[in-house]
Every structure is written in C-alpha cells, then in structure tokens.
Chain A
C-alpha cells in the first residue's frame, strides 16, 4: 500500500507530504484545489516507466503534448528548483526527481508525441528536465478508471472475464451489491457492435446501461481491477453521471472490490452525497478502511490533510463541510 506521498513543485503543489492513507481514499476539495494533480502525482511516482501515460489520462490533451501538458507539470515560477515526488510503499520508498534547468539551447520541437520521454528526458520547449529515481523502483501497477462509452467498455470487460476466475469474481462482486444480478455477458446482434448484457431476472438479459447507473459504473471499475490486477486504482470524479441515489450501491461495490482484490483506491469527488455514501458503506463493514484526503488552498499554496474514521464521523454528526 502507498503509505506516504511527498509532492514538491509539481503542478500547484509547493511542498505537501501526506501519510496514513487507507485502503480506499476519497480526495475532496474545491475546483483547482489539486485533486486531479494529486492522482497524477501518484501515477507518476508509482509508475514512472510510463510517463507518457500521464498526458490525457485525467485531462483532455490535444496538440503538442509538451507545450499543452508536460510544461504544466512543473509548478509555475519554480526557477531551477527540482520537482520531487517521494512515495513510500509498504515495502520501501522511492523518489523521483524531475530536475528542471533552463536550457542553453531550446528543446527542438518533438517530431512525434512523447518522443522526449523515451529516455527519461523531458523537454519543456525552453527547459530541460530529467526524471531521476532514487531508491529501488516500486513494482506498483496503477490502473485508472475513466468514463467509457459502452463500446469501449466491452474490451475491458472481455479482458476481465476471459479467465474463468475473473468471470466468477465479476459476478460475485456485482451480486454483493445487487442480488438481482445473475450473470453478465457480452452479446452480439447482427450488424451491431458487441455489447454487455446483464441478467437481472427479467425475461431476457438487458443491455448494461439499462441495469442502472451504479451497476454500469461498477462493471467499468471491476473490469479494470479484474483485467489489470493493479496494486493501485485511481478514479477521477467518480460521481460523474451518477444520480446520488445510486452512490451507496457504487460505494458498497468499491469497498467490496478493494477489500477482496486487495487494491488500494484513490478517488476524487466534488459531491457531498458521494462522501456520505462512502462513509456509510464503510461504517457497516468490519474494517472501516476509508480515509478522506482534503486538499485546499491557503494563499497560493495547496495544502492538505488526511482524515480518519473519527474525524469523518464527527464531521458527519456536526454537519461540517469536508469538501
């Protein structure tokens, strides 16, 4: 499990160190507080071998990736200070240092996307930055769950249920949150793309989007977890497109999957109902393994803290806004 993350000079973070993460971590904060940047920091720190995967992962990224995306990984105005991401994992620590220096000669325009990343070197047009790693690399597999249209979800679902164990786990997890679910399959119709159908006890299987928003989102999440077997799962704005009444079901599923599959989950949200649903889902479980990570701005700096069960419960009782 990720136990500590220090972020220096990365995006809006000047120097933030957070510890005491839980199995499931709900990241809250206002717009521009750094929630998505926090996920990007985790992704970069824990799987630096794929830096090019960062662009477009949580934010739309079009055009020149260096100019439109990479340049903004460095906190604005840091001069020659280093960007540093320190991650402590249960089995050890690692640090990534992005050494940023003004180039004597401007970086040439990349001829193909991400080419400047190929050897750990990152060009920022007029800057040079090199990722360097201290300590042994973490063998951490990170998956991110993004919103998928039904057609795109089919492929991820297929990967997840191809092994028989994956199919069994998918159905078992879904039944844990909705006992109507008997089975989930890929269906084919003439002249149509394959699509996912769910047996919920009706006369025939229904297309997945017809089974409810919560189930749809859970199939997407479970597909990623069962297909990729990650150590860490990152989900940005988990409540998007989901009515608040479906959130308890969603969180019941996330809690169950994280526990059974031993995947640490980091989720961002803007929604108070989402926070309440997460708290209630964990409050009835044997182990309350939820943390709320609050990110907020004090002046120009992004700061944060991690809240445990005692603080989350007190905030709910006192109707104290945590977002």
Chain B
C-alpha cells in the first residue's frame, strides 16, 4: 500500500515514535478506519509540546476534519494530561479534554495511554490485555520465569517492566523486530480484548 500523504488525508493521528505508528496503524486497520488517516510520528517523546506547536500549524488545523494525539502516560500522567490539554486548547482554539474528542472543527482528540493503574506506556496496556487472555497463561508464566531468572541470577531488570516482558514475548513470536508495532502487524495481539476498548473507542472517534 502506498504511504499516505499528509495533504491528502482529512484525518491525522499524532504519535510518539515509529513503533507506535505501526501499532496504531494496525489497530485502525483492524477497526476498518485506517483509510484517509495520516499518522505522524514525532521521532520520540522529547520536546513533545514544541513539536506539536510546529506540526499543528493553523493552515493544517484548518484543513483537517479530525486530529488525534496519543501519547504514553509514563510516570507523570497528571502532568502530561494537564500540559497537553492546555497546549492543544491553545493551538486549536477549542477546549480539549483527555480521553475524548471536541466537536470541531476540526475535531480534536487527546488520549494519554498506560496500564489500568494509569501509568506506563501503550506497551503496559497491551501487556495487561495479553496476560488477561487465558489462552496466554502458559506463555505468560514462561516469560515471568525468564524475567525472574534474569533479575535473581543475572541481576538485570527491564527498565520498563511491561515493555521488557512484551519484548521477551516478541523475541520469540517476531524475532525480526521485537517491538510493539511490528509485533502487532504480525497479528500477535487481540484488539477485541475489553482492556483495549477505551483505546479502540478513541481511535474510532477519528472518523465519525
């Protein structure tokens, strides 16, 4: 499939990095909502607000039907929510609230993702949904054993617990690239899991 061009897409999704781009593209594809969506990755989380100011130029905002922003909560969910709500509201002239979409135009959406406890990354959310599936119970125990062994014997712990566990799973299931996005493209995750409802609902809001 040809790479979408920003000018030709009426809907835009902004994400942090390349793995996120591939993951959210896969989720949108599974929802049948990928067509007409341009996904812009910012090459990482640094200077996120400055990058938003650069990217969300008034002529781009005026030309689109919907613009969504999805970022990880990491360890400072409340802070990032407050900062991005404020920044997006200024940039678009609308009152942007995390978790939903404005009325437009264009419709602006913001979602800060993490695990059930609120913190973490999109990998946290996906890991929690994967281990909640009884079909993955055995594989889950194997990964936990591996992580425990590394921690106890090698004194090595994953910097991000869920990201490390997910990478351990993907190292077996998709050894070409054990990151979330490429793993999702190999259909390793079930996007119909209830843990992912909120995410899927938000992404569905890109097109109404």
Contacts and interface: CB of A to CB of B under 8 A. Distances in A.
A296 B54 contact: no
Contacts of B53: 311
Interface string B117-155: 000000000000000000000000000000000000000
A297 interface: yes
Given A314-B51, A317-B44, A318-B42, A298 B6 contact: no
Interface residues of A, number: 19
A296 B57 contact: yes
Contacts of B54: 307, 311, 314-315, 318, 320, 322
A310 B44 CA distance: 16
B43 A297 contact: no
A278 to B, nearest CB: 16
B70 to A, nearest CB: 15
B172 interface: no
A322 B59 CA distance: 12
A91 interface: no
B39 to A, nearest CB: 13
B90 to A, nearest CB: 13
Interface in A283-299: 294, 296-299
A313 B43 CA distance: 12
Which of A298, A303, A315, A318 has the most C-beta atoms of chain B within 10 angstroms of its own C-beta?
A: A318
Contacts of A313: 47
B62 A315 contact: no
B46 interface: yes
A310 B57 contact: no
Interface string A170-195: 00000000000000000000000000
A321 interface: yes
A294 B50 CA distance: 15
Interface in B21-50: 40, 42-44, 46-47, 50
20 contacts: A294-B57, A296-B58, A297-B59, A298-B58, A298-B59, A299-B62, A305-B57, A307-B54, A310-B47, A313-B47, A317-B42, A317-B43, A317-B44, A317-B47, A317-B51, A318-B42, A318-B55, A320-B40, A320-B42, A320-B54
Of all A-B residue pairs in the complex, the 4 with the closest CB atoms, nearest first, are: A314-B50, A318-B42, A296-B59, A314-B47
